[in-house]
Structure formats: C-alpha cells, structure tokens
Amino acid sequence: MTVLEHRQRGAAPAAPRPEPPTPRRRRQVSLTPYLFLLPGVMLFGLFILYPIVQAAQMSFYDWNILRGSASEFIGLDNYIRAFQDDRFWLSLSNSGIYMLLTVPPQIILGLAVAMLLRSKAPAQPLFRVLFYLPVVTSWVVVSLLFKYLFADEGLINYTLGDLLHLTDGDTSWLSGRWTAIVAICALGVWKGVGWSMMIFLAALQGVPQSLEEAARVDGAGWWQRFRAVTLPAIWPAMIFVIVMLVIGGFNVFTSVLLMTGGGPGGQTEVLLTYMYQQAFSDLDFGYGSALAVILTVIVFVASVIQLRAFRDRDGDAA
C-alpha cells in the first residue's frame, strides 16, 4: 500500500527508520611533541623547580649541612630574625637605591641611543656593536675593570684631579658607602644601556612612518611627534624594559661582590651578597634561604604592581 493510499484512508504514514549511528573516531594523540618537551621539562624541574622548593623548605629549619645530623624545625624564626636584622634592612635599602639609580638612566640613555641609531647610516652597524659590547662582556671582567678605574690611583681620580682639577687629591671611591654605590651604579648603567638600546631599536622598527610624516606635515615638533606617535607605538617594549630592569636591579650581585665585597663594614651590602655571606660564609643555610624567599616575594610583588599600573594606564589611555 502506498503512502497516497494511506493518506486517502486517513492513516498516518509509517515513520522512517532511523539510520544507524556512525561510530565516532577516536582522537589520536601524538606523543612526539611531548617527547621533545620532556628533556626541557626535566631540566627545568631538576635545576629550577627543585632548588626553589628545597630553599623554601630550608627557610623553616635551622639547617644542618652535615650528613647524618638532623635539622631542627624552627618555623618562622628565620623570617622574624630577618625583619629584626639591621643588616637586612641596610642591604635591602642598598638594593633599592641601586635599582632607583640605574633603571631610569638605562631607559633614557638606551632610548636616546636607539633613536640616534635608528636612521640608516654606513657606520650604524659598528655603533650598534660598540654599544652592545658591554652587555655580552663578562660581569667578572668588567667588575674588576671598574674596580681598578675607581681605585685610589685609578683613571677616574687621575681624570677628575690631574686633568680637570675638579677634586683635591685622590678620592677613595670604594672606601665609603655612597661613593662606592656611585661606582657600582656607574658600572650597572654602562653595562645595561646596550641591552635596552637593542630592545628599543627593535620596537622602533614598528613605528608607522606614515604617522610620523603626517605629524611632521601638520607642524608637530620633535617632542610632540615623540609623545603622540613614537611613545605609544613602543609602549609595550617600554613596559618590558622597565619590568626586566627592576628585576635585574634587585638581583645585583657580581659587581658588589667583586668591587667592594659588601664593605666597608657591610655598608654596600645588597640582598644577594648578604644572602651569599650568610649561606656560604657563615653556613647558615636556613637564614640564607629565608632571605632568598623574601627577595623572591619582593621581586614578584614589584613586578605585579608595575604590570597592574601599566595595564591601568593603557585602559585610561584607551
């Protein structure tokens, strides 16, 4: 009987038979990417993650490095000791002073040099290499070099006293707190300008030339073009440079250790050199680990504050 005959007799047509469900294909997971990632993950866990966890654990103990000797759990005593330690506050203030005295000059000089080297010129690659050369030079080498430059009979005293007659006699740069900090900061700025210059050079390549030409045609001066066109275009690179330089400022170590050793009398001690002295000279690994954890928290909080501040600024600008 046909469908038409069913309709004529008032009977409903038979429902179509449902098609059998097609079997789902199982998603095949390739193990090849994970095999390539495995060596890096293992190295990260072994040389970075495990030491971090171990240092955090050691900070809660009066850690004994002798094999077979138990370490005593003392809770937060190492952290309480740190906040009651005058040398900790002095080293923290020195780290902050170093950061404040080195970060702005590196940003300003690095951006200025990058804008000068932005234009294509025959000698441009040579100047780029010369400015970047201190960045790839060993910290040990340049720290010893600056130590001799700022010595009592070094080139700095000879230039300021004998040539320019700006000082009377020899200045003991590395024998006082503030003069030694100036010498250490001079090294930090000299070595870091090339790094910020390269970051800004890369960012300046993305500045739209059409906008600069339009601003120049409209009669905008150099500062107006920089503030309205160049700076907004390189702002992400500026954020990156500021955050990385602040982190690097709090992690200053080699230059202080080799130029002054934290002296005189611990007056130029920074957090990392004080932590190194506590852990590897006094063998107080628990207290040294607590100082490392405190420094990590300080750097993390400072980075978060900067990123939030810059994000809020971008939101206001938008």
Give me the pLDDT at residue 308, please: 86
Q: Span 92-265: which CATH code?
A: 1.10.3720.10
Name the token pair of 137: 């030079």
Provide the mean pLDDT of the chain: 86
What tens digit of pLDDT does each residue of 206-246 get? 888 888 888 888 787 888 888 888 888 899 899 999 999 99
Count of H helices and E strands in the chain?
16, 2
Token pair 């000089």 is found at 109
Q: Does residue 24 register a pLDDT over 80?
A: no
Q: What is the mean pLDDT of residues 309-314?
A: 72
SS3 72: strand
Going by C-beta distance under 8 Å and a sequence separation of 6 or more, which residues neighbour residue 214? none
Distance CA 42, CA 54 (A): 16
Give me the pLDDT at residue 67, please: 67
Residue 136, φ and ψ in degrees, nearest 5: -90, -5
Q: Which amino acid is at 197?
A: M
Distance CA 64, CA 163 (A): 56
Q: Does residue 86 register a pLDDT over 60?
A: yes
pLDDT band at 310 (very low <50, low <70, confident <90, very high): confident
- 309 or 113: which leads in pLDDT: 113
What tens digit of pLDDT does each residue of 120-154 get? 777 788 888 888 999 999 999 999 999 999 988 88
What tens digit of pLDDT does each residue of 243-275 get? 999 999 999 999 999 999 988 888 999 999 999
Q: Does residue 318 register a pLDDT over 50?
A: no
Q: For residues 280 and 43, is the Cβ–Cβ distance under 8 A?
A: no
Look at phi and psi of residue 93 and say left if phi exceeds 0, alpha if psi is from -120 to 50, else beta.
alpha
Boundaries of every domain in the chain: 92-265
What tens digit of pLDDT does each residue of 44-79 get? 999 989 988 999 999 999 988 876 567 889 999 999
**High-pLDDT (> 70) share of the chain, %:** 87
Q: What is the mean pLDDT of residues 276-305?
A: 92
Look at phi and psi of residue 252 and say left if phi exceeds 0, alpha if psi is from -120 to 50, else beta.
beta
